[in-house]
Chain A
Amino acid sequence: AQRVTQPEKLLSVFKGAPVELKCNYSYSGSPELFWYVQYSRQRLQLLLRHISRESIKGFTADLNKGETSFHLKKPFAQEEDSAMYYCALSGVPGNQFYFGTGTSLTVIP
């Protein structure tokens, strides 16, 4: 069963425009959600997690349990935001880890 769905494989926005990367999940327990990012020629790294309720590099993500979504948002996209973004879920209990298929974000100057 698909645990994490990222409906957009590719997303292009202009610099300064708002950006939203969609993530929907399905899990019967109490999942924990994350966004990981991979910049060009760099390793996959954690961007943010829902339990921290933090804003990293201007990005925020709110866990919506009713809609089972964890969309990543930024009000004003920057060129350096161009990267591959993965939504991920950690199963509780069970400890399995599920990644979405990723969304490639391109910010057009």
Chain B
Amino acid sequence: DSGVTQTPKHLITATGQRVTLRCSPRSGDLSVYWYQQSLDQGLQFLIQYYNGEERAKGNILERFSAQQFPDLHSELNLSSLELGDSALYFCASSFRDRGRNEQFFGPGTRLTVL
């Protein structure tokens, strides 16, 4: 599959724990975006990386961090988890670094914090 992939598909954990979500962009894409989708907030832009460097920041909590590795895959780390962090986390990729470029979305990781 040359599209955006995300692992795991589902994640269930407890409050206070730490998890890592992984995203592999489309082949050739240099930019990775992370989004959080919750029922009441819709899709919230968290952060963007381009070729390993942070390019734009949205509503990302300090408990959350991300990075993009030399092979261009990205990880989103969520720590000190709270019940309100339960959501669908999407990753998207694009070739260039500008938000104007078409973003290709992954299937998402559903996080449930109990």
Contacts and interface: CB of A to CB of B under 8 A. Distances in A.
**Are A and B part of the same complex?**
yes
Given A44-B90, A99-B42, A100-B42, A92 B100 contact: yes
Interface residues of A, number: 20
Contacts of B4: 43
Contacts of A45: 104-105
Given A95-B48, A95-B99, A102 B42 contact: yes
Contact of A95 (B43, B56, B102, B105): B56
Contact of B100 (A44, A90, A100, A102): A90
A96 interface: yes
A11 B60 CA distance: 31
Contact of B105 (A32, A43, A51, A96): A43
Interface string A56-83: 0000000000000000000000000000
B99 to A, nearest CB: 3
Interface string B1-33: 001100000000000000000000000000001
B89 interface: no
A98 B100 CA distance: 11
A101 interface: yes
Contacts of B35: 99
A91 B98 CA distance: 9
A32 to B, nearest CB: 5
Given A43-B105, A43-B106, A44-B105, A101 B99 contact: no
Contacts of B98: 90, 95
B20 to A, nearest CB: 22
Which of B56, B92, B107 is packed against the most chain A CB atoms within 10 Å? B56
Interface of A: 32, 43-46, 49, 51, 86, 90-92, 94-102
Nearest 5 Cβ contacts at the A-B interface: A90-B99, A101-B42, A99-B43, A95-B56, A44-B105
